Amino acid sequence: MTTFSYRARDLNGLLITGTYDGEAPESVRGWLSEQGLIPIAVKKGSAVLSGNFFSDLFKRVKDQELMLFTRQFHTLFKAGMDMETILTTLGNQTRNKYFSEALIRIRTDVAGGSNLSRAFAQHPKIFPGLYTNMLATGEEAGILDEVLAQLAILIEKDITLKTSVKSATLYPKIVIVVLIGATFVIMTKVIPELTKFYGHYKSELPPLTKALVAVSYFFRDYTHVALAIMAGIVFAFRRWRSTTRGGLIVDKLKWRIPVFGPLGIMVANARFANILGSLYKAGITVSRALSITALTIGNAAFTREIETVRGEVDKGKGIAEAMRQTKYLSPLLIETTAIGERSGSLDELYFSIGSHFDMEVSHTLKNLTTLLEPMLLVVIFSMVAFFMLAIFLPIMNISSVVLH
C-alpha cells in the first residue's frame, strides 16, 4: 500500500484535500468517487496538495473556535447523534472555511472506515497531539462523552490563561514600542540637526556624543544595511533557537528574567497539573500521559524535565520520587503528587492543585504592572539620562569656548 495525497470537490463545490492509502492512483480516485467526491488531482506522497501556498500560511483555527467546536461536539454526541451527522452539522456551521474543509475531510475518512482519532490526527495544525490522544483513549475506553467534556474545560482554561498573560503584558509592550520609536526619531532626526549646530563651533565633541553621532549617521545613510544586519541577526537567532541546544538555552534564560521568569514557571506548572490530570482521568497510562504533556508545555527546559521524570517512572520509580530531582516542578506539586499516589486520587488532586496555580497566576498578573513599574522606570530614566548627556555635554563645552 502507498500513501497518496489528493484534491477533490464535493457536490457543493467545496475543495477537499487529504491523504489515502491505496495501491495506485486509480484506486484512490475510485475511493473518492465512492465517497461522493469529484477527484481533481492524486499524487504519490503524504504531502497535502494546496491550490495556493501563500493562502495556506494564513490558514489557522483559533483556540476559541476549537473550544466552541469541542463543546458543540460534546453536546451533539451526548444527544445521541451519529458521528457523520455531527461532523456534517459542525462543518456546515463553522464560518472558518479552513476548519469546515478539515471537518468534511474527517467526515469522509470516518465514513470510509477510519476511527475518529486517526481522522482527527490527519490535521495536526488544528488538533494537537493532546487532543487526538485523548480522543483515542475515549474511543478505546468507551468514554468519549467524558473526554470531550474534559477537553472543552482544558481548552477553556488554556484560553483564559493566555488571554490573561497577553492583557497583563500589553502595557510593557506599548512602553517598549514607544521607546524604540522615540529612539529612532532622535537618532535619525534630532542628532543630525544638532550635529550641524555643533559644526559651527570648533569645540571638540565628547566621546559619548561622537559615538551617538556615528551611530546616527550610520542609520541615516545606511538604512538598508542596518535593516539587513538586523534581519540577519534575527534570522540567525531564530535558526539557532530552532536547534535543540539553542532552544534549551533560550528557554532556560527566559525563566531567569525577573518577574517574567517566575511567572512562566508558575504557568508551566499550572498547565502541567491541568493537562496531566485530564489525561490521567481519561485512563491514559502515566508514562504516556507524561510524554503527551511534555509536548504541550512549550518550554524545552520544562519538557526535558518531564521526559526525565517519565524515564524514571518507566524504570519503576514513583512519580513524586522522580519529580524530586527536577528544578522547575513546584515543591507543592511534588507533595500533592505524593499524596495522590498514596490515596489513589491523583487526577482529583491534580485538578485541585491546577486550580490553585491558576489563581496564583491570576493574582500575579493583576499585580504585574506594579511589579514592572520600577524596572520600566529604570530603563526610561537610563535612556533619558544617556541622551541628555550626549546632547548637552557639547553645549557645556561650547559655552566654555565662547566664554574664553
Q: Are residues 122 and 45 in the same domain?
A: no
270 and 362 together in one domain: yes
pLDDT of residue 15: 63
- Both 335 and 357 in a single domain? yes
In a domain, 272, yes or no: yes
Q: Can you give the residue range of the structural domain that contains 89? A: 63-166
Is 188 contained in some domain?
no
Q: Based on the fold, state whether residues 32 and 12 are members of the same structural domain.
A: yes
- Looking at the fold, whether 18 and 68 belong to one and the same domain comes out as no
User: Tell me, what CATH number does 269's domain have?
Assistant: 1.20.81.30
Residue 315 lies in a domain: yes
What pLDDT does 72 receive?
A: 93
29, 115: one domain? no
- 112, 139, 166 - which closes a domain: 166
pTM of the entire structure? 0.67
Q: Kindly state whether residue 196 falls inside one of the protein's structural domains.
A: no
Divide the 404 residues of the chain into consecutive groups of 10 and give the mean pLDDT of each group: 72 64 77 72 62 54 91 92 90 89 89 86 84 84 86 87 82 86 82 74 73 81 83 92 87 87 89 86 84 82 91 91 91 92 87 88 81 82 84 68 48
Q: Are residues 105 and 12 in the same domain?
A: no
Asked whether residue 67 is domain-assigned, the answer is yes
Phi-psi region of 205 (alpha: psi -120 to 50; beta: other; left: phi over 0): beta
Residue 243 covered by a domain: no
Number of independent structural domains in the chain: 3
The pLDDT value given to residue 30: 78
Neighbours of 90 (CB within 10 A): 21
56, 75, 91 - which closes a domain: 56
- The per-residue pLDDT for 54 is 45
Q: What angle is formed at CA 38 by the lines to CA 35 and CA 40, rounded to 5 degrees?
A: 130
Q: What angle do helix axes 260-281 and 286-294 make, rounded to 10 degrees?
A: 140
Query: Does residue 393 belong to any structural domain of this protein?
Result: no
If asked whether residues 161 and 80 sit together in one domain, one would say yes
Classify residue 383: in a domain, yes or no: no
What pLDDT score was predicted for residue 18?
A: 72
pLDDT for 253: 92
